């Protein structure tokens, strides 16, 4: 378990949550965090693709109008 997961697990245990439930909750937080990181990477890639497409389209339009 990572440091943050251990902190979450310890915090849940300190308020009286069962040990197994605390571990599962900490694990699910890690899984959702990794999914968000992947989504962030995908969005960054899409931004670059759209920017490249706009630049290429503008260049083609400029070439056609001249």
Q: What 3-state DSSP class applies to 13?
A: helix
Instruction: Give the number of other CB atoms < 10 A from CB of residue 29.
Output: 14
pLDDT digits (tens, 9 = 90+) for 33-62: 777 888 999 999 999 999 999 999 999 999
Would the CA dihedral through 60, 61, 65, 66 be positive or negative?
A: negative
pLDDT digits (tens, 9 = 90+) for 13-39: 899 988 888 888 888 887 777 778 889
Q: Pick from 28, 4, 34: which is nearest to 20 by CA? A: 28
Q: Token match 């965090």: residue?
A: 33
- Tracing tokens 């308020």 back to the chain, one arrives at 15
């Amino acid at each position: 378990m990572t440091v943050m997961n251990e902190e979450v697990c310890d915090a849940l245990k300190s308020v009286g949550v069962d040990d197994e439930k605390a571990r599962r909750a900490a694990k699910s937080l890690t899984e959702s965090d990794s999914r968000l990181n992947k989504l962030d990477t995908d969005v960054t890639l899409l931004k670059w693709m759209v920017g490249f497409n706009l630049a290429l389209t503008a260049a083609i339009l400029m070439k056609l109008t001249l």
